[in-house]
Structure 1
Amino acid sequence: MITLLIDYSTGLISGLIFSAYFGILFGFDLKFMIFLFLPAAVVALSSRKIKRRVEIILPFFWASLTQIIVAYVINLYYTPLDYLIIIESNFLSMLVTMGILPFFEYLTRVYSEIGLLELGNLSNPLLKNLSLKAPGTYYHSMIISNLAESSAEIINGNTVLARVGSYFHDIGKVWRPQFFSENQKNKNPHSDISAKLSSLILNNHVTYGIELAKKHRLPILIEDMIAQHHGTRVKQFFYSEYYNQTGIKDTNMFRYPGPIPQFKEAAILMICDVTEAMVRSMQELNAVDLNEKLDNLINSLFFEGQLDDCGLTLREIRKIKGRIIRTIMEMNHKRVSYPKVEAKELRE
C-alpha cells in the first residue's frame, strides 16, 4: 500500500525495515528475513503501475508465489497446510488493502493513482460546477490536461497527477468567472474597477481554489498545484496600468500569493497554463512562431525564479517544450477541404 500511495523506493525501503525488524525479533533469523523481504520487494515492484482496483490482485498473487518458492528453497515450511496459510494470509491482506485504501486516501489526502483516476472522473461535482459556471475555464483546463499529461510522460513524471491536477487547478474561478478572459463575452468588467482590485480578484481564484480543495478533501498534491500554478508572478498588465496612473513602482501588490512550484508536475502545469493562454492570443499558429514564443516564455519563468525549486533539469525543460509544441500542433491541425457534392447525388 505504501508503494501505491507514495512510490516504489519508499515501498521497498519499508519492506526492508519491516523484514529486518521481525528478523531481529525472531532472534536474527536470516532465513525469516529473506522470507519476508523478497515477497515485499515483489509487491512493491508489481504495484508501481497499478491504475485499477482490480489490479491489486496481481501483487498479492506474485507475493504468494514468491513466498511459496522461497519457503520451499530454504526449507522454512514443509507441510501443504503451511503453504495454504501463506495463500490465505496474502488473500486477506489483499482484501484489507482494497477495503481500507479509499478511506485512508480520504482521511490523509494522500492518493494513489487509482484514487486520482477516480477523482478525475468528469462527473465529479467540482468539475461539473466548473463546466456550468465557468465553461471557458473548464475547456481551458481540459486543453491544459492534455498538454500536461504528455509533458509529464516525456520526462517519466506522474502523468495521472499532471492530468487530474490540471482538471482542478482553476476551480476557484467559479467565484466571479466573468473576471477571467476565457469566460468573457463582450464587456470586460476589469474596465470598471481599479488595477489593485483586479489584482485581488485574480488572486482570489487561487485562495478560493485552495479553500475548495480543503473542503472537498482533494489530494494535498492537487491543493499544492492550485497554490503553485501561478507561482509568485507579477500580473504585468495590471501593474503597468497602476504604474502609468500613479507612477509608483510596487510589484508586491500585483504578485500571485504563490509559492513557486515545488515539484515537477506543478512546474509543468505552470508552463502549460501560460502556454495555452499565449496560444489563444496568436493570430496564426505555426511551429516556428510557437517555438520562439515558448522559448521566450520559459526563459521568462526561468529568470523570474519561478522554476528554482521544482527539480526540473534543463534537459527536461527542453523535452517538455518539444512535447508541448508537438501536442499543440497535433491538436490544431487543419482539416482537409472536401469538395462539395450535391445532396441529391448522395442519395441512393
Structure 2
Amino acid sequence: RAKDRAGIWRAGLLMGVVDALLVVALRLLEDQSDPGGLLLGAGAGVAAGLLSPVIVVGLSPVVESVLGYTTNDRLLYLSNLNNPLLKELVVAAPGTYHHSMVIGTMVEAAAEAIGANPLLARVAAYYHDIGKGKNPLYFAENQKGENPHDKLAPSMSALVIRRHVTDGIRMAKAAGLPRPIIDAIPMHHGTRLMSYFWHKAKEEAERKGEPPPPEEAYRHIGPKPRFREAALLMIADSVEAASRTLSDPSPDRLRGLVQKVINTCFADGQFDECDITLKDLHAVTRSFVTSLAGIYHSRPEYQQPADKSNGAAAAPPERAASRKKGRKGEAGGGAVARKGAEASGAASGGQERPAEGERGEEASPPSQGRSGGKPARAAEAHDALEGTGESEALKRLGNP
C-alpha cells in the first residue's frame, strides 16, 4: 500500500529495526549475552530489512506481469502526462483531454472521501476516453460548430459512440496498460442508455408510423462497474459533461445535478455489481459539488480605473495624445473667445459667459467608446446559453 518508493524504504527500515530487536530479545532469553553475537544478530536483522525494498522494487514488474497485480508505483508511472497515449489524445482530441483531466481531479478527491484508491481513480480517468481520439469530431467536447450526428441516423450514431469504447480497449491493451485501467474503459459507461439518440430514434419512428426501437439497441455494451473507482468514474463522466449545459452553475444547481445523475445510475442498476454504499454516494455528492464549485467559481467584475481630473475612464495612449492636441486647440481658441467676450461684456454690463468650447465639453457626457456594446453582447450570450434546453443536456448525458 505504499504510495511511493520512499514508503517502501521506510517500511524496510522499520522491518530491519523490528528484526534487530527480536534477535536481541531471543538471544537474551537463551542466555546468549555475548556482545559480539548480539551485535552480529542485530546487524543481520537490519540488513535483512534494508534488503527487502531492493527485492520488492526489483521483482514488482515480474509480479505485475505474472499475477496481474497493479502497484501504486506502476500507477504513478502512468500518471505522467508525457505518456504517448495522452500526448496523442491532447493533439487529436483536446476537448476530451481536458475533460479527462477535470474528471481525474474530481474522482481523486471523491476516492479519498470514501476510502477508495485515489491514484487508481485518477489514472483511470486519464485513460478512460482514449478511444475518442480516433473519431474526435463525433463527440461534443471536440466539436467546433457542425455536429456530424445531424447527418447520421440515430442507430449509426449509437454505433459510433460505442466504437470509442472498443477502440479504447484495443489501444490500452496495445500499450500494455494494467488490467484495472483497461476494465475501467467499458465500465465507466456500463450498460447505460444513450438517451439522446434513443429519443431521437423514437421520434423518427413515430413520424413514420413504425414501432419504437428497443432500448437494448441504444445501450452501451458494459460491463457495469465492478469496483468503486469505476463507479466514481461513471458518475463524474456524466456530471462533468452535463454541468457544462448549466447557465448558472451555482452550488445548489450543481448539487441537484449530481444527485440526479446518481439517482439515474442507481435506478438503472449500474451499481449492482460493485460494493459502493449509500453512505459512499452521499460523500461522493459532497465531494463532486465542492470540486465543481471550484471549477465554475465566479469572479467580480473589475471596473476600469477612472481619470481623477474629470471622472471619466482612462483613455488609451493614442486617444490621450489626440485629446491633448484637441484641448490645446480649444485652449487657443478659447483665449481669443474670452478676449472678445470680455470686450463685449464690458460693453453690456460686465457679465462674462463661458467659452463655447468649454461649455460644450462640460455638458457632453463622456464617450463610452468600445465598451458601450458590452451589455448588449452579454445579453445575447445569456440568451444563447438559456436556449440550450433539455435536449442539449440529454445529448451531453448520452454522449459524454
The interval holding the TM-score normalised by the smaller chain is 0.7 to 0.9
Q: Does residue 1:249 correspond to 2:210, yes or no?
A: no
- Counterpart residue type for residue 317 of structure 1: L
**Separation in 2 of the partners of 1:231 and 1:92?**
44
Corresponding residue of 2:105: 146
Corresponding residue of 2:134: 175
Gap runs ≥5 in structure 2: 206-210, 306-313, 318-400
Q: Check conservation: 1:229, 1:266, Cα contact below 8 A.
A: yes
1:106 positional shift: 4.9
Note the aligned Cα RMSD (angstroms).
Answer: 1.8
TM-score scaled by structure 1?
0.81
Corresponding residue of 2:14: 62
Q: Check conservation: 2:23, 2:45, Cα contact below 8 A.
A: no
CA deviation string 1:182-209 (max 9, x = no partner): 0000111111121111111111111111
Q: Check conservation: 1:228, 1:266, Cα contact below 8 A.
A: yes
Gap runs ≥5 in structure 1: 1-47
Corresponding residue of 1:10: none
Q: Check conservation: 2:158, 2:194, Cα contact below 8 A.
A: yes
Q: 1:248 to 1:339 in 2, by over 3 A?
A: closer
Match of 1:202 among 137, 158, 161: 161
Corresponding residue of 2:3: 51
**Separation in 1 of the partners of 2:25 and 2:266?**
56
CA deviation string 1:286-324 (max 9, x = no partner): 122222222222111111001111211111101110111
* SS of the residue 1:238 aligns to: helix
TM-score scaled by structure 2?
0.70
1:89 positional shift: 2.9
Q: Does residue 1:326 correspond to 2:285, yes or no?
A: no
- Counterpart residue type for residue 58 of structure 1: R
* SS of the residue 1:281 aligns to: coil
1:261 positional shift: 0.6
Q: Check conservation: 2:20, 2:43, Cα contact below 8 A.
A: no
Q: Check conservation: 1:166, 1:269, Cα contact below 8 A.
A: yes
Q: Does residue 1:164 correspond to 2:113, yes or no?
A: no
Q: Does residue 1:215 correspond to 2:167, yes or no?
A: no
Matches within 5 A, 1:13-92: 48=1, 50-75=2-27, 79=37, 80-92=39-51
- Counterpart residue type for residue 160 of structure 1: L
* SS of the residue 1:121 aligns to: coil
CA deviation string 1:137-192 (max 9, x = no partner): 00000111111111111111111111111001101111111100000001111111
**Separation in 2 of the partners of 1:299 and 1:90?**
50
1:54 positional shift: 3.4
CA deviation string 1:99-129 (max 9, x = no partner): 2223433555422112101111011110010
* SS of the residue 2:63 aligns to: helix
Q: Check conservation: 1:106, 1:217, Cα contact below 8 A.
A: no
* SS of the residue 1:98 aligns to: helix
* SS of the residue 1:327 aligns to: helix
**Separation in 2 of the partners of 1:218 and 1:116?**
10
Match of 1:132 among 87, 91, 99: 91
**Separation in 2 of the partners of 1:86 and 1:288?**
58
* SS of the residue 2:244 aligns to: helix
CA deviation string 1:266-288 (max 9, x = no partner): 00110111000110111111122
- Counterpart residue type for residue 145 of structure 2: N
Equivalenced residues, count: 296
